[in-house]
Amino acid sequence: MSSANWKEKLTDRIPPDQAREIDNFEAQMLLRKAGKIEEKVFAEVRLRRGTYGQRYDNGQRHDGIRTRALAYQPLTKGPETMWDAPGMQRIKIPFGGLNPDQMKLLAELAEEYSDNILHITTRQDIQLHFVHIEEVPTIFRRLAAAGITTKEACGNSVRNVTACPLAGICRTETFDVTPYAKATAYYLMGHPDTQQFGRKFKIAFSGCRHEACSLVSLHDLGGIAVTRQVDGKTQRGFELYVGGGLGAVPYQAKLMVEFLPEEELMPMARAIGRVFARLGEKKNRNRARLKFVVAKLGIDEFKRVVMEEYQSMPEDNSWRRYFDEIPRYDEQPAFAAVQLNGQKRPNGFEEWAATNVYEQRQSGYAAVTVTLPLGDLTSDQMRKLADIARKHAGDHLRTTVEQNILLRWVPHNRLINLYEDLKAIGLAQPGAGSIVDVVACPGTDTCKLGIAASRGLAAELRKRLATQMASMDQAIRSLRIKISGCFNSCGQHHIADIGFYGNSRNVGGYTVPHFQVMLGGKWTDNAGSYALAMGSVPSKRVPDLVTRLTDRYLADRQGEETFQSFCGRIGKKQLKGWVDEFVKVPAHAEDPAFYVDWGDPRAYTIGDMGTGECAGEVISLAQFGFTAAESQAFEAQLLLDDGEFQKADEMAYSAMLEAAKTLVRQQNPDTPTDTPTIVGEFRTRFVETQLFWDKYHGNQFANYLLNRHESPDTRYTKDTAHKLVEEANLFIDASHKCLAKLQASMNVLEVPVLPKV
């Protein structure tokens, strides 16, 4: 079914600016299909909308016997990424907030465009896999109509802003960080100052210092809610942390400001974004996160630079619009609180309630964690869960960084019925936040960078541990296991008690899947400290190693000692000794099972790894701007073909403005984007200076824009519209030439950096 029909059907339900962005994406998709824009530019365009490549999209796969070419059509949608190959769509869920209507829509999308599975990520996003690129604009439109976006879900941008799923109902929070997370997410989304990063930028908000719900320490920017008394009044603010991150080189975020008043939060985030855009590495993606800037400058110098930026950056009061919404954020329970008294408790209820039910701050209410194995649920489960939520909890749900879903505001007297309803759809598994609730990134299942089967291992551990749960000591139960398919840490292995990340070793001429063992990471205190690497063990030995480690912990633990303290006391040497007992790989002839990975019977290979898209391409603002202009010119042509002459005229004009804006902002990135300013600046900077002057045509191309701006031809006939569409194309060509001239004269790099203010 063509996306045009969904477009028509949803036209009144999508905010116009979003509709336009999606049209733009679709036009760029068509241009790429026609070979009219570069693959790397389109790659960044789609990554910024969360449309990722997936394993095997480079057109080859080892089938267990040989590497086989996958005969996709030759067109690509990015470097080494075939057009036809199904990919992953990430959907941004700021602070994990979802309502039942949105859940139902997500269920429909997974059913119609994916493989009927919704996957919750460690950043509270939702991912669909095996999605065809041609269906992506329709997915965007259907999401937008339900108030969901994928904008900047990937690429070098501000990623999903996370927050404690318990925010607002937590017994230990200072205040509810939800509205701050929401405001920051939407303020920075698409903000001009966040468009020129060399790498992704992650933000989290936490309601208190000592819990782990939002893991501030591992973020580029994190805020912990704090208050202070000023003139007898309580003032809200944030402890502001910067420069944290996991990956191959993990860094703990550093405290930059002890008390940042709430009204300074968004401008400060913007200033930090501007500094990151200016000083962050652009060429070497391995050194391009903010953590490297902070480490290089030191926190004091970094703070000084940010404060200077904060004081001197051009005014932008748009944050006010979001800030003013904060006091209005109000979550009300759907049902009155009634205590659970004397109701008969079904089998399994107590065990489930002990791990999955959290007593809210608000008396008589509980929050219920729905545990999802490996973060997955089916469309049918999602739809029914939406109904269950509405029946027992109301509209306020959250995804969690532990890949689960949280129902909030469940009155106590509904817990038993809720449990029964969840059980009926297979979602009443106990063990939330326990050792069974293993977190795993996609790994070799779908990720191009995956080295070992993180999900396969997680599934195996989950199965084994679930059978032992009933007899397990509480100390073991409360441990956390997190697994990544490679060192990039998407499974957050650094902050687990027992963490793993995939690697490989060569044994007797065969490649053998392994996992690096990481012990003693601290999950609490907002991910207070990171785990120690203890060496690699073969993938197939990991479950036995987990048993050994937990047995030793139980046997040698002193008092209420945490696993982290236990590891510290026992010491690295002893821990390594335990791990080393599991490093041996039997010869292939002796046990070939070691030469395949969990959940995948093919002979193991690392030959299927591809080029990751996590980092995206660093595309200059000018490339983006011109691509957007070209896609508008293309859309104008389509409108013209459809006989929509006035709309074609307007779109062609808009395309010229976009190109002019791109040029103007090359010279001054802070130029306001309203039409009179852009045209005025274009005239001053490019026409009067003759930078736009063409050797053969003089000011002819510039006049196309100036004439349309000053005296539009309002007859809107086929001829007038056709003329303007042609002119728009010529204007964009001339803009390209002008930029080349400008760059040559200034001898600047292709990737411009924001000027120091």
Partner 1 sequence: MDAYKLIVKIFVKDPPQLPADAFVPVFHSWIQNQLVADHLLIDVADYQLVHQGPGTVLVALEGNFSTDRADGRLGLQYNRKQPLAGSFADKLTAVLITTLEGCVRLEQEATLNGIRFGGDELVVRINDRLAAPNTKATFESIRGDLETLLAELYAGAPVELHHEPHAEKLLEVRIKSSQAVSTATLLERAKSLAALSAGN
- Contacts with ligand SF4 by CB under 6 A lie at 441-443, 447, 449-450, 454, 484-486, 488-491, 612, 614
Q: To the nearest whole angstrom, how small is the minimum distance from the Cβ of residue 47 to ligand SF4?
A: 14
> What is the Cα 110 distance to its own chain's centre?
18
- The DSSP string of 379-442 is HHHHHHHHHHHHHHT-S-EEE-TTS-EEEEEEEGGGHHHHHHHHHHTT-----TTSTTS-EE--
Phi-psi region of 525 (alpha: psi -120 to 50; beta: other; left: phi over 0): left
Laid out side by side, the sheet with 481-484 consists of 439-440, 481-484, 498-507, 510-519, 532-538
> Which residue number, 247 or 433, has a Cβ lying nearer to ligand SF4?
247
Stretch that binds partner 1, among 103-111, 475-483, 575-583, 672-680 (CB under 8 A): 103-111
Rounded to 5 degrees, φ, ψ at 671 are -60, 130
Of ligand SF4, partner 1, none, which one sits near residue 223, judging by CB under 5 to 8 A according to partner kind?
Answer: none
Q: Which of residues 83-102 bind partner 1 (CB under 8 A)?
A: 84-86
Rounded (10°) angle between helices 621-641 and 645-667: 170
**448 sits near partner 1 (criterion: CB under 8 A):** no
Residue 600 contacts partner 1 per CB under 8 A: yes
DSSP state of 530: P
Within 56-196, residue ranges assigned H as helices are 100-113, 136-145, 178-188
What, of ligand SF4, partner 1, none, does residue 488 touch, CB below 5 to 8 Å by kind? ligand SF4
Q: Which is nearer to ligand SF4, 94 or 491 (CB)?
A: 491
Among 15, 34, 115, 172, binds partner 1 (CB under 8 A): 115
421 sits near partner 1 (criterion: CB under 8 A)? no
Burial class (CB in 10 A: 0-12, 13-18, 19+), 209: middle
Q: Among 213, 427, 436, 575, which residue sits at the site for partner 1 (rule: CB under 8 A)? A: 427
Given 17, 63, 258, 750, the residue binding partner 1 (CB under 8 A): 63
Provide the 3-class DSSP secondary structure of residue 241: strand
Of 99 and 362, nearer to partner 1 (C-beta) is 99
**Binding map of partner 1 across residues 120-159, x = CB under 8 A, - = no contact:** ---------xx-x---------------------------
How far is Cα 448 from Cα 453, in angstroms, rounded to an integer?
12
Taking residues 299 to 318 in sequence order and writing x for each that binds partner 1 by CB under 8 A, - otherwise, the string is: --------------------
Are 229 and 198 within 8 A, CB to CB? no
Written as six digits, the tokens of 454 are 């993180």
| Nearest-angstrom CA–CA distance, 405 and 513 | 32
Establish if 104 lies at the interface with partner 1 (CB under 8 A).
yes
Residue 243 interacts, among ligand SF4, partner 1, none and using kind-specific CB cut-offs from 5 to 8 Å, with: none
Distance of closest approach, residue 1 Cβ to partner 1, in angstroms: 5
CB of 63 or CB of 580, closer to partner 1: 63
Q: Which stretch binds partner 1 (CB under 8 A): 63-71, 474-482, 545-553, 655-663?
A: 63-71
Handedness of CA 686, 690, 695, 701 (dihedral sign): positive
Sign of the torsion angle spanned by Cα atoms 300, 301, 306, 312: positive
Identity of the residue, 196 or 381, whose beta carbon is nearer to partner 1 in the bound complex: 381
> How many Cβ atoms are within 10 Å of 693's Cβ, its own excluded?
17
* Smaller CB separation from partner 1, 197 or 594: 594
Question: 241 - beta bridge partners?
Answer: 222, 255
490's contact among ligand SF4, partner 1, none, with CB below 5 to 8 A by partner kind, is ligand SF4
Distance CA 519, CA 521 (A): 6
Encoded one letter per residue, x for contact with partner 1 by CB under 8 A and - for no contact, window 613-642 reads ------------------------------
SS3 222: strand
Only one residue has tokens 């459809």, namely: 642
Closest CB to partner 1 among residues 72, 310: 72
609 binds partner 1 (CB under 8 A): no
Start-to-end CA span in the chain (Å): 51
Smallest distance, Å, CB 296 to partner 1?
A: 41
Report if residue 71 touches partner 1, rule: CB under 8 A.
yes
Q: Which residues bind partner 1 (CB under 8 A)?
A: 1, 5-6, 9, 55-56, 61, 63-65, 68, 70-72, 84-86, 104, 108, 111-112, 115-117, 129-130, 132, 373-374, 376-378, 380-381, 383, 425-427, 445-446, 456, 459, 462-463, 599-602
